[in-house]
Structure formats: structure tokens, C-alpha cells
Chain A
Amino acid sequence: MTTIDTPHDIGHGGHHDEGSYLTPPPGGVFATIIHWATTVDHKKLGVMYLGAVLTMFLIGGLAALAVRTELWAPTRILADGTATGQLFHSAKSVAAGYQIYNRVFTLHGAVMVFLVIVPGVPATLGNFLIPIMVGAKDVAFPRLNLLSWYIYCTGAIFAILALLQGGVDTGWTFYTPYSSSHANNAYGAVVLMTTAAFILGFSSILTGLNFIVTVHKLRCPGMGWFDMPLFIWGMYATSIIQVLATPVIGITLLLLIFERVFHVGIFDPAMGGDPVLFQHFFWFYSHPVVYVMILPGMAIVSELIAVHSRKPIFGYRAIAFASLGIAAVAFLVWGHHMFASMGELAASIFSALTFLVAIPTAVKVFNWIATLYKGSIAWNTPMMYALAFLFLFSIGGLTGLPLATLATDMHLHDSYFVVAHFHYVMMGGTIIAFIGGLHHWWPKITGKMYNEWGGLLGCALVFIGFNVTFFTQFFLGTQGMPRRYASYVDEFQTLHQISTVGAFILASGMLVHVITFLTSLISGPKAPPNPWGGLTLEWYTESPPIEHNFHHEPIVKHGPYDYEDVYPPHCDPADFPLPEPLAAGARAH
């Protein structure tokens, strides 16, 4: 790849004196705020999303800690009628305390799913990196991008309003008829929370739509479909699911709001409606959305593993097509959330289709491991997170199989086994990959290096804490601990306490990361343009990137992972020597 002047360069941006995108405009703090609030620059929007998503992650995380603290001890009712072991206790009754617990875990689930994991990677790293990685100046529809950020914030405000109204105790799934006809006394809260999820869906659709068009129409010269980094492939597959699945949750939540406000009787069995219809609708969106959560994680890990082991990725096309394969199968498996409420034939078919997901997923995992084989592996934070992802995601994926099996699912359904399984996938998969990616691209986004030891310490604490928290829950689940309960029988206490300790270790790891990042922002050394020796386009521009990403429209002349015959840009070739037999014929960048 070279950055030569091209004849059609006119109008394609490129003042050589152009500053970094973080350079504040003249006119003081107020002007800067206005500038950021009205920007259509995908990089600034990515950073703004990052701020919003991390704030929500903090709220959801604190709720999780509260849930774990409540579960430290079971509720024991004493002879005089008072109860011990309740963190959320109410003067009214023990049951009222349980109600608060229900609201807190619903808050945790709804915030983490709708406000953190679903928009998390695409809206932050995706927004920042996709245009740069395809060599464009911006996403296809920059103003739509800004709009979707505001829609996200509106959704977040609705969710917070629901919280202030007393919270929702339906669980993040809003199952009818509980959500439509009963739920808690705060009448407006369910409608507000549902509206929030409905609004957030729009944000998700617009982001996905924008990315699909960007990838189709704005790739720079020389970048064919199979010259794209695998990060783009993963994001592309994610966007397809976002665009095709989200409208269905839109109509579902709209009908739920109608049900709640006008009592139209679509989902309420007392009026001839069908609550299972809600579950079908809900999971037709929410199961594909599980892959909206995990595909970006996989997209990040493909980059981390290739760059930090300096090996051409093994089976590029297999990984790319596996992303699309997962996206396709994603739409066919929703029924496995309702095995008990459908006929045997339908349940068997959904069970078989669910097993199908394991194939493209395993293809990816094996390809990553084959990439690591004989690579020169860098022992830094992004790589550690990529390895943590491989361990945790494999556990999460494999424990999905007993849940897809009809016979074992009857035993494990709605138990802590399920809780542990999806936390291994969502947290151990997506969030772990997200933090790894954040470290990997932190120098590019902020222009500052972070302290490697801080990153490694945080990673170790997160990894240990995560396993202590959730591995115990597999045991709890197989022994019969049902999910969503505020209290339990005494036999479970030891395992619950281990899990709670793990949650606090996990939180301390997150705290270490926060401190590392803040220190880096305040006093971190300036980042070079290409600290890791990457070959994808974002490493060709400055750190942080200039306002229009590149001085000239790039022309791609090598693949994204050609570590065997291209010296990385902006790097000393001595630091990144090519394999011996090939070094002679290598092209300079």
C-alpha cells in the first residue's frame, strides 16, 4: 500500500497541515461542547458512544454487584417475623424486599443487554474503525450517524426515567402476561422501559444500515471483498442481523405497549390472546441479537490474534464465511427458548438447528488457534484478552450444547446453569473481547500509550474474578438453583459466597483498567502511528487520526495480514523482521 497522489484526489480531503480529530476548535469550552454535540465525524461519534456505553456499563455493573451482595446469604425468617440476610429489605414485608431484588436484576439485565452489549462494539469501535479500515473519510450517512447517537441517548433517558419511577421487575425479557397485565405497581415504568428498548432498536437499525452501505460503497481502490480486514467482515455480518431482526422487536414492543395502555388482548390469555406469541416474537429478535453481541467480539479477536502473533490469519475465507453463516443460522434457532411450549417435532427441529450454530463457531475457534501456532506471540494485554476470550468463549459455547439438547435442557432450563452459560458467552465473549480491543486501539483512538503492567494486572484480575464468579454457577445450576430468586436453601450458601467474592475480584480488575486508562490519558507517553506493527489501514494514518482520516485516499496493494512479505508502515523494519526466505523479495511499504 502506498499513499501516493491519485488523479481523482480532488475533493478527497488532504491538507497536509490538518490536525488530529481531537484538536479542539477555537472559541473555548462552550464552542468545543457545541462542536462535539453537532459533529458528524465518525471518530468523534465513536468516542461519544464510548462515553455513553461505558457510563451505562458502570450502572449495570453496580446493579450486578448489588445482586451478588444480596445473594451472600439466604433470607432467614426469625421467630419474631423479622428477616436476616436481606440486603434489600423493606419495612413493609420480606416479600417487598424480594420485589426490590427483582427490580435490581431487571435493571442489570436490561441495561447490559439493550444499552451496553448490543450497541457496545459496533457503535464504539465499529464507528471509529470501519471507515478508516476501508479507507474512507466517513461512514456513508454521517448525519444519520449523529442522529442514531441522539436516539441512543433518548433511549437511555427513557430507561433511567423508568428506573426513577420505581423500576421494572419483569426481567429483561418482558414476558407477558406478567409485563402486560400484572408487573409492579408502577404503571408507567413498564411502558417507559419498553419504549426505551423500542427507541434503542432504531438506533441499532440506523447504525447497522450505515455500516452495510459503507462497506458496500466506500471501500478504497484496491480493496476487494476479500481484502477487507476480518473485523469488517464480522461487523458486516452483525449489521445484517441488526437490520433484519430489530424491526420484529419493534413491532413486538409496540404491541406490548398497546396491550399495556389499551388492553387490546393480543398477548393476554384472559382476553383470548396468546402469551407464547410474545415469546416467539421476542426471541425471533433476541436470539439473533445474541449473535449481534458475539460477532463483534469475534471480529475483534480475529484482529488481535493476527496482529499480536504476527501470522497471516489461518483460513481467512473460512472465518469470513463463518461470520455470515452464523448470521444466517441466527434466524432459525429462536424456538430453543420455548422447548416446553411447543410440540415434540418442532422442538426437535429447533434443537437440531441450534446444534448447527456450533459448526461455524468452531471453525472460527480452530482457525484462531491455528493462527497462533508457531506465531511470534506478544505477551501484552490485547493478546492476553484474546486468549482469555478463547478459553471463556469455548466454555460458554460448549455449555450451550447441553442446553440445546432436549433431555438435558428440561433439567437445566431456567437454572443458574443457563445464567453461567450466557455470562460466559456475553461477558466472557463480548465484553472480554471489547476490553481487549479497547487496549489494542487505545493508542489509535487517544494518541496515548497505556501502561502495559496495569493492563496485564487488570486482565488477570478480570479473568480470575470472572471464572470464580460464574464457574461456580454451573455447579449451582446442576444442583437445582433456579435463576432470578432472591433467596435459596442453606446448602447453596458456600457456592453463592464464592461467586460473590469472584464478582468483587472482577470489579477490582475493572477498577484497575479504569485507573490505567485515566493515567494514560493524563500522563501517558505519546503513541506512535503503528505501535503493534499492524498492516490494516488504520495503522497507516497518524495516532490519533487526522480530521479526514488520511492525507490522500489510500490504495490497497497488499492483504490485511501479509506479515510474511510486507514491512509494517511507520515501523523500523528491524523491529519486525520478515521470515528469512522471504525477506529478500519483500516489498517496502
Chain B
Amino acid sequence: MTTIDSHHTPAKVRSSEPGWKRYLAASHFRNAEDEFDACKLGFWLFLATEVLLFAGLFCAYAMFRMLYPEAFAAGSHHLKVIYGGTNTVVLLLSSFTVAMSIRCAQTDNQKWLRINLVITIICALLFFFIKFYFEYIPKWTSGIRPGLLYTNPFAAHPQEPTWWSVYYGATGIHALHVLIGASLLSWCLYRSIRYKAYGPTHYTMLENAGLYWHLVDLIWIFLFPLLYLID
């Protein structure tokens, strides 16, 4: 009598059955469909909070760009469009594959569900690699750092360190989200391989992880032009 799930009669579990068929909705929902809707509504609300979190950063960006347009232009010249552009393509591709993996869950295509997830995770890692290896590390070692840590002697504008604070703040928090998203998708992949957890009648976790990944993509779509494509 301790938990909300206690009223379920334990189902006769046949391990040969895929996980999505064995799934029972939590007992405080009327049925699995209600549970799915509730989880999705909850997750959309969570995504709204994420957008608002980044809204603060975009506000700071707008304000400092208005105050120091030359510093922003000068700082932006240090960014290579080729890296940012590649990362944009990588994330767009991964957004497509994650959507395809959800589609595969709906049609019970377990093999392509996993292949699509693997491609998505590889894209996430590729994004991370490009971000760190080609962008963060060379800049950091040459003294292009945020705020007081800035030691590069060739600053084109006295307020350039402020631009780098905004750059590192925005892309750093975004990179953290890439990492969290990739972890969620890896967890989905593990559960898919281990239990065949996602199928036509139950794919809540995969759906929400996919939504999260689209958010990560969406934020980058805004960050890329604001950071890389300004004069």
C-alpha cells in the first residue's frame, strides 16, 4: 500500500515480449493515452522554461550589442563561419534523424529506430568535437577568454572581452544542453536495445527526448547567425 503503483496486478511478464507491449500506465492515470498526453504537456512546459532561460542570454546579447556594436563586430570576425555552418548542418541532420527514430517507433521498425538514434548521437558528438577542438581550445589558448580572464594583446576594441563573455556564456550553456540531450538519447538507445522499450503504443520517453533535441537545435539556429554572421 505504499506506492501509487501498488494497485497494479503484477502482469505475467514474458521476457520475450517487447518492452513497449508490457508497459502499463501509472495507476493514477485513467489509461496510457492520458498518461502520454500528460507527459507531453509537462514536457512542453519544461521546454518553455528552457526557452525563457535562453531568453535572458539573448537579452544580454541585444543590450551589449546595442552598447558596443564595434566590439561585437570585431569579436565576431574571430569566428570561422565554416565551423559554425558545419555545426548547423550537423544539428539539422540530427534533428531529422531523431524525428525519423520516433516515426520508426510508431511503425515498430526497431532496427531503423536504433540506426537513427545512433546517427543522432554521432552528430551530437561531432558537434561537440568541432566546438571544442576547432573553436574553444585554440581561442582559449591564445588568450581569447571571457571578461577579466582575457589576455590576448590584440583586442580590436576595449569592450571585446564583454563580447567573449556573451559568446562563451551562450554557447557554453548551449553545449551543456547538447551534452544533456545526447545523454538522454543514449539512455533511450540503451533501453531500446535492452528491452525494445519503444513501439507504437508506448514511446513517451523517446518522444520527449526528441522534443528536447529539437529545442537544442532550435536554439543553435538562433545563436549561429547572431554570433557568426554579424559585421
In the complex, which residues of chain A have a beta carbon less than 8 angstroms from the beta carbon of B57? 251
CA distance A271 to B64 in the complex (A): 12
CB of A258 closer than 8 Å to a CB of B: yes
What separation, in Å, do the CA atoms of A252 and B169 have in the docked complex?
12
Instruction: Say whether A266 contacts B56, CB under 8 Å.
Output: no
Contacts of B41 in A (CB 8 A): 212-213, 216-217
Contact residues, B1-19 vs A (CB, 8 A): 1-4, 7-8
Contacts A39-B2, A264-B165; is A217 near B7 (CB within 8 Å)?
no
CA of A485 to CA of B27 in the docked complex: distance in angstroms?
A: 56
For residue A565, CB closer than 8 A to chain B, the reply is: no
Tell whether B137 is near chain A: CB-to-CB under 8 Å: no
Q: A39-B2, A246-B49, A547-B1 are in contact. Are A271 and B38 (CB under 8 A)?
A: no
Structural contact, A262 and B147, CB atoms closer than 8 A? yes
B54 to chain A, nearest CB (A): 8
User: Which of these binds chain A: B80-88, B154-162, B210-218?
Assistant: B154-162
Distance between Cα atoms of A66 and B3 in the complex (Å): 44
Interface membership of A140, Cβ < 8 A:
yes
A272 near B8 with CB under 8 A, answer: no
How far apart are A141's CB and chain B's nearest CB, in angstroms? 6
Query: Chain B contacts of A243 at CB under 8 A?
Result: 45, 48-49
- Asked if B194 is an interface residue, CB under 8 A from chain A, the answer is no
Is B42 positioned at the interface, with any CB of A under 8 Å from its CB? yes
B230 interface residue per 8 A CB criterion: no
**Among A273-281, A311-319, A519-527, which stretch is in contact with chain B?**
A273-281
The answer to whether A266 touches B3 (Cβ under 8 A) is: no
Q: Are B56 and A281 in contact (CB under 8 A)?
A: yes
| B54 neighbours in A (Cβ, 8 Å) | 251
| B52/A218 in contact, CB under 8 A | no
A210 touches B42 (CB 8 A): yes
* Most A C-beta atoms less than 10 A away, residue of B146, B147, B159: B147
- Bound: A209/B43 CA distance, A: 9
- C-alpha spacing A259/B147, complex, angstroms: 9
Q: Do residues B2 and A252 form an inter-chain contact, with CB atoms below 8 A?
A: no
Do A140 and B38 touch across chains, with their CB atoms under 8 A apart?
yes
How far is it, in angstroms, between the C-alpha of A272 and the C-alpha of B162 when the chains are bound? Answer: 7
Main secondary structure of the interface of B (DSSP, over half): helix
B30 touches A213 (CB 8 A): no
The answer to whether B68 and A251 touch across the interface, beta carbons within 8 angstroms, is: no
Q: Contacts A272-B158, A272-B162 given; indicate if A262 touches B148 (C-beta within 8 A).
A: yes
Residue picked from B7, B52, B57, B161, most chain A C-beta under 10 Å: B52
- Chain A residues lying within 8 Å of B193, measured Cβ to Cβ, are none
Q: Is the beta-carbon distance between A244 and B28 smaller than 8 angstroms? A: no
Q: Determine if B28 and A248 form an interchain contact, defined as CB atoms under 8 angstroms apart.
A: no
Q: State whether A251 touches B148 (Cβ < 8 A).
A: no
Asked if A205 is at the interface of the complex by the 8 Å CB criterion, the answer is yes
Q: List the B residue with the shortest CB-CB distance to A268.
A: B147
Pair B53/A266 contact, Cβ less than 8 Å:
no
Nearest CB to that of A281 among chain B residues?
Answer: B56
Q: Which of B53-75 contact A (CB under 8 A)?
A: 53-57, 59-60, 63-64, 67-68
- A11: Cβ under 8 A from any B Cβ: yes
CA distance A11 to B28 in the complex (A): 8
Chain B's closest residue to A210 (CB) is B42
Within 8 A of A (CB), among B96-146: 146
On whether the beta carbons of A136 and B56 are closer than 8 Å, the reply is no
Given A11-B8, A136-B28, are A272 and B2 also a contact pair (CB < 8 Å)? Answer: no
- Known contacts A39-B2, A218-B28, A262-B149; A271/B49 CB under 8 A: no
Chain A residues closer than 8 Å to B158, beta-carbon distance: 272
Hey, which chain A residues are within 8 Å of B52, CB to CB?
Answer: 244-245, 247-248
A212 touches B45 (CB 8 A): yes
Q: Quick one: CB contact mask for A1-41 with B, threshold 8 Å, 1 for yes?
A: 00000001001110000110000010000000001000111
Asked whether, in the complex, the Cβ of A264 is within 8 Å of the Cβ of B146, the reply is yes
- Assess the A213–B49 pair: CB atoms within 8 A: no
Contact (Cβ within 8 A) B147 A264: yes
Interface string of A123-145 (1 = CB under 8 A from B): 00000000000001110111000
For the complex, give the distance between the alpha carbons of A39 and B29 in Å.
Answer: 18
A589 within 8 A of B: no
Using Cβ atoms and an 8 Å threshold, which residues of chain B touch A248? 52-53, 55-56
Question: Contact at B49–A140, with CB atoms within 8 Å?
Answer: no
Task: Check B37 for interface membership: any CB of A closer than 8 A.
Answer: yes
Distance in angstroms from B224 CB to nearest chain A CB is 20
In the assembled complex, the CB of A564 is this many whole angstroms from the nearest CB of chain B, namely 33
B231 at the interface (CB under 8 A from A): no
Which residues of A sit under 8 angstroms from B148, Cβ to Cβ? 262-265, 271
A137 near B27 with CB under 8 A, answer yes
Closest to B53 in A: A247
Closest to A214 in B: B38
Residue pair A217, B37 in contact (C-beta under 8 Å): yes
Query: Nearest-CB distance from A140 to chain B (Å)?
Result: 5
Contact: A247 with B50, CB < 8 Å?
A: yes
- Considering the complex, which residues of chain A in the window 119-178 have a beta carbon less than 8 Å from any beta carbon of chain B? 136-138, 140-142
- CB of A506, distance to nearest CB on chain B (Å): 37
Q: A11-B7, A136-B28, A138-B4 are in contact. Are A244 and B48 (CB under 8 A)?
A: yes
Given the complex of chains A and B, what is the CA–CA distance between A263 and B145 in angstroms?
A: 11
* Residues of B with C-beta under 8 A to A330: none
10 contacts between A and B (CB under 8 A): A25-B2, A40-B4, A205-B46, A217-B37, A250-B56, A255-B169, A265-B148, A266-B147, A266-B162, A271-B148
**Residues on A close to B: CB < 8 A?**
8, 11-13, 18-19, 25, 35, 39-41, 136-138, 140-142, 205, 209-210, 212-213, 216-218, 243-248, 250-252, 254-255, 258-259, 262-266, 271-274, 277, 280-281, 547-548
Known A-B contacts: A11-B7, A213-B45, A548-B7. Give 15 more (CB < 8 A). Answer: A11-B27, A12-B27, A136-B28, A213-B38, A213-B42, A216-B38, A217-B41, A244-B52, A247-B49, A248-B52, A263-B149, A265-B161, A266-B60, A271-B147, A281-B56
